[in-house]
Amino acid sequence: MLAVQLTEWGRPPELRDVPIPQPVGEELLLQVTAAGLCRSDLHVMDAAAASFDCPLPLTLGHEVAGTVLAAGPDAAPGWIGETVVVHGVWSCGHCRNCARGRENYCLRLRPRTAGAPAPIGNGLGYHGGLAQAMLVPSARQLVRTDGLDPTVSAPLTDAGLTAYHAVREHADLIDAQATCVVIGVGGLGHLGVQILRDMGAGRILAVDNRADAREMAVRLGAAAAFPDVDSLRTAVTDGVDVIIDFAGAPDTTQPATRLLAPGGRLTVVGSAGARIEVGKDVGLAAGWRVTAPFWGPRADLVAVIDMARRGALHVEATPYPLADGVEIYRRLRAGDITGRAVLIPPPLAR
């Protein structure tokens, strides 16, 4: 089968012909129907050999939709033929965070060697979905999509789940009175606006320095959109209850702390180098809270898939053939891709 694999650290990936894996134990084999490309794949490629402890070659792809083709002898029954997405945090299922439904903070996601990033799941330490087929360790990694278009469902496993989880943390504050701000209306932020709207946020404001992104934010439910945090300030005389910063840049996160209403919360999702100063004596609104969630638990993936099936979530995604994967990564790095790029593998000949 064809697979887009990283064969050497610090080099672009390659399209290769590799054996079709066979499921053993509890594993299930998916025919991949779509796999999204994510900027964090670029960080994996760029990792120095010593800093990412993972055997190569590695098939990339942590946003995967597929159809279950085959199951190992000990796998959960009833999955063959189902259309699914893959929950990309391959958690242990047993630790106290997994028992709490916080699989994204599984205590067993540990580095293979000290100091290296822990392997997380498909495409991030284990073979991923930029291939015609992929193994998952067990049915715990699968969520049924009941035929949802895979070009839509694949990006929901990371872009959608991460945005949903970041917003859902604040469900207790999101009501008809709430003022909420989305900073960065890109692959995650455009979903964040819609998730806030669906959860009933009274007033959604957006910040993005690109005019087309501001236009999209308003089209998807924002009351207004601003080019930077400073220009937003005049519109929020009573402060902001929930700020989701999908940029996480030096010129977004620190200025955003000044917008918080008493009891307000700032959630940092993007990792563009922001540093913030927090403390009881640095002039923040009383009751401030700052969070930096990681990805999301399986239950939130179920919820975001359900939202898409209800027609409440428009996903900006463009399909390309798997064979063009190396070139599409090059364009992603060049900033030449809008919305999510999703690769579509040819069906396996069986």
CA dihedral 268, 272, 275, 276 (to 10 degrees): -30
Rounded to whole angstroms, how far apart are CA atoms 339 and 350? 33
Judged by CB under 5 A, which of 30, 35, 68, 106 binds Zn ion?
106
Question: Which CB, 95 or 323, lies closer to Zn ion?
Answer: 95
- Name residues whose C-beta falls within 8 Å of residue 153's C-beta, 6 or more positions apart in sequence: 34, 65, 85, 145, 305, 308
* Selection from 321, 323, 305 nearest residue 152 by Cα: 305
Q: Are 18 and 7 within 8 A, CB to CB?
A: no
Q: Which of 121, 198, 191 is nearest to 160 (CA)?
A: 191
Residue 91 binds Zn ion, judged by CB under 5 A = yes
Task: CB nearer to Zn ion: give 163 or 207.
Answer: 163
Count of residues touching Zn ion (by CB under 5 A)? 9
| Residue 348 burial by Cβ neighbours in a 10 Å radius (0-12, 13-18, 19+) | middle
Smallest gap from residue 220 Cβ to Zn ion (A): 21
| In the complex, least distance from residue 109 CB atom to Zn ion, rounded to whole angstroms | 7
Stretch that binds Zn ion, among 26-34, 150-158, 250-258, 308-316 (CB under 5 A): 150-158
CB of 28 to Zn ion, least distance (A): 19
Q: How far apart are CB 98 and Zn ion at their closest, in Å?
A: 3
State the nearest-atom distance from the C-beta of 160 to Zn ion, in Å. Answer: 11
Output the six-digit token pair for 215: 């236009």
Alpha carbon distance 207, 184 (integer Å): 6
192 touches 244 (CB < 8 A): yes
Interface with Zn ion, residue 38, by CB under 5 A:
yes
| Segment contacting Zn ion by CB under 5 A, of 102-110, 165-173, 294-302, 329-337 | 102-110
Residue 350 CA neighbour count, 13 Å, CB half = 9
Interaction between residue 141 and Zn ion (CB under 5 A): no
The residue to which tokens 């100063």 are assigned: 277
Under rule CB under 5 A, residue 18 binds Zn ion: no
Among the residue ranges 152-160, 166-174, 213-221, 288-296, the one whose residues contact Zn ion (CB under 5 A) = 152-160
Smallest distance, Å, CB 81 to Zn ion? 28
- Binder among 22, 40, 271, 291 for Zn ion (CB under 5 A): 40
**Residues contributing to the site for Zn ion (CB under 5 A):** 38, 40, 91-92, 95, 98, 106, 108, 158
